[in-house]
Structure 1
Amino acid sequence: MAQEKFIGVICGLKSEAEAVSASVDASKIRVGISGANAARAEEIARSFCSDGASAIISLGVSGGLDPALKPGDLIIGETIIADDGSVYASDKYLLAAITSDHPGEGRGPETLRKMDPGWSLSSGRPLAGSGGRDSRGGYLVAKLFGADEIIDSASKKSALFHNHGCAAVDMESHGAARASARAGAPFIAIRAIADPADRALPQAALNAVAADGSTRVWSTLGAAMLDPKQFPELMKLGGDSAAATKTLRRSLGPLFARLFLCFDL
């Protein structure tokens, strides 16, 4: 009996997994939740690879590092730079499947050049509604930073942007990328910006994500009550996260349709 083909999707939060389930054909994917933990993301990716996953996708919200990005902007990760200095490249054919005007016409480099002679990993399709840039795709292909600790201040975000040139930061993609690289499985990351580069995270929110990817709502509110000045910042963060999740729900269907074509799913 032939092994059932699937794409492994790794999210940090339950809300991100729910966005996937609402947008993507569940029969073609398996979803794991890492709880914003790179080691857990790596473990899930390794398990998916052992089960024969056609590809591994790290997917969810992220913190903005590039000051030009705003909440809800969508990033396709070209490269993941980890805290330990490791660098993981996304699969160029998965990137091509997303960025090409003719998805599903083969995965070899010669075919890609015929599809678009000017295509490169860094070109991608620009974000909508920003500086008059092309609005057809609504995303940016860029580098991501994989952090092992929460990047909670605007100064830390600025340092990562200037030192590494990364557009966004998350806490799972580098773990999933590491396992994929070791298994030889195609990998790509899809992230939507939540908190922008100039926004510090409220202290009450720093322990908001539980190990199962749920949100510790009551403990977060309890922490904020000890310092009520944090409530406006928590409300802004909630709005930013909602904008990011809305982008995922809107974008994942078309993006995954292109990825499925790569693997005849």
Structure 2
Amino acid sequence: MPSFIGVICGLKSEAAVVSASVDQSKIRIGVSGANAARAEEIAKELCEQGASAIISVGVSGGLDPALKPGDLIIGETVIADDGSVYASDRYLMAAIQSAHPGESRGPEKSGRMDPGPAAKRPNQKQRAFARGRRDVRSGYRFASLFGADEIIDSTTIKSALYHNHGCLAVDMESHGAARAAARAGAPFLAIRAIADPADRALPKAALNAVASDGSTRVLQTLVAALRDPKQFPELMKLGADSAAATKTLRRDLGPLFEILFKNLDV
């Protein structure tokens, strides 16, 4: 059976970007509806089908005040709500860093791939390391992500996650996908583009915008905003942020996945 990479997205719109940017014959995409439990279930199914690796792809909320919409994060680790830490595959990380040499260099590839099982809660040294290293030539940030089970809708919570855990960005499916990959012994990696920055709270009208199937409840969101028209400027900013993140994914996913295909023999 031909090998493939399993891709987990939270939204149908993210999956559409992946499909348009990456060789579809070499991937299988699952959409979790921004739900970690569903992401874990889909990733488990893809591993059982023989996935060579599990890759979490999509947009994220920024936690580091230095990040702006459209910046790209390659997740070195994912810290879950319960404190578990899941490491990305070190050889896939090294392959990306070798293809885009800069300040941050990874270990040379040798031996089998290490999926990086869940670890204990991050200590002070880990939190400091999690703040991220920038690959100068590519512009990517290699850093930790926070996996949230609930929507992070306030700047106060974003700030707390950044200072307490050292994570640069947050999403709602990477930790579920990482957990399934670790249990299956499959390589894992997260590729996330920043949408809403650290200093921007999500408007209330957008909090229920994602349906369980990963589609966007556009009409419901607009109706909610009509009840409080002051939210429209914030919704417009969120739309612009998301567009910047999507543009980055369209630009970078193709080259990144070519590196993954080569190193996973897909």
TM-score, normalising length from structure 2?
Answer: 0.88
Once the two structures are superposed, residues 207-244 of structure 1 have per-residue CA deviations (whole angstroms, 9 ceiling, x without a partner) of 00001111000000000000000000000000000000
Q: 1:197: which partner in 2? A: 198
Instruction: Give distance in 1, aligned partners of 2:131 and 2:38.
Output: 32
- Cα distance, 1:161 vs. partner? 0.1
Matched, 1:222 2:223: yes
**Structure 1 pair 100–149 and aligned structure 2 pair: CA distance change class (3 A):** same
* 1:125–1:137 Cα contact (<8 Å) kept: no
Q: 1:246: which partner in 2? A: 247
SS at match of 2:28: strand
Instruction: Give distance in 2, aligned partners of 1:124 and 1:72.
Output: 16
Once the two structures are superposed, residues 138-173 of structure 1 have per-residue CA deviations (whole angstroms, 9 ceiling, x without a partner) of 210000000000000000000000000000000000
- Cα distance, 1:4 vs. partner? 1.4
Q: 1:116: which partner in 2? A: none
Map 1:1-265; keep pairs closer than 5 Å. 3-101=1-99, 107-108=109-110, 126=134, 134=136, 136-265=137-266
Instruction: Give distance in 2, aligned partners of 1:231 and 1:86.
Output: 37
Q: Which runs of 5+ in 2 are unaligned?
A: 102-107, 113-128
SS at match of 1:152: coil
SS at match of 2:221: helix
- Cα distance, 1:126 vs. partner? 2.3
Instruction: Give distance in 1, aligned partners of 2:63 and 2:100.
Output: 31
SS at match of 1:49: helix
Instruction: Give distance in 2, aligned partners of 1:227 and 1:199.
Output: 18
- Cα distance, 1:97 vs. partner? 1.3
CA RMSD of aligned residues (A): 1.9
The number of aligned residues is: 244
**Structure 1 pair 262–27 and aligned structure 2 pair: CA distance change class (3 A):** same
* 1:99–1:125 Cα contact (<8 Å) kept: no
SS at match of 1:98: helix
Instruction: Give distance in 2, aligned partners of 1:124 and 1:262.
Output: 24
- Cα distance, 1:6 vs. partner? 0.2
Identity of matched residues, %: 77
- Cα distance, 1:101 vs. partner? 3.2
Q: 1:117: which partner in 2? A: none
Q: Which runs of 5+ in 1 are unaligned?
A: 111-120, 128-133
Once the two structures are superposed, residues 163-201 of structure 1 have per-residue CA deviations (whole angstroms, 9 ceiling, x without a partner) of 000000000000000000000000000000000000000
* 2:75–2:189 Cα contact (<8 Å) kept: yes
Instruction: Give distance in 2, aligned partners of 1:155 and 1:82.
Output: 19
* 1:99–1:124 Cα contact (<8 Å) kept: no
SS at match of 1:100: helix
Runs of 4+ residues over 3 Å off in structure 1:
121-125
Once the two structures are superposed, residues 86-115 of structure 1 have per-residue CA deviations (whole angstroms, 9 ceiling, x without a partner) of 110000011111111389xx83179xxxxx
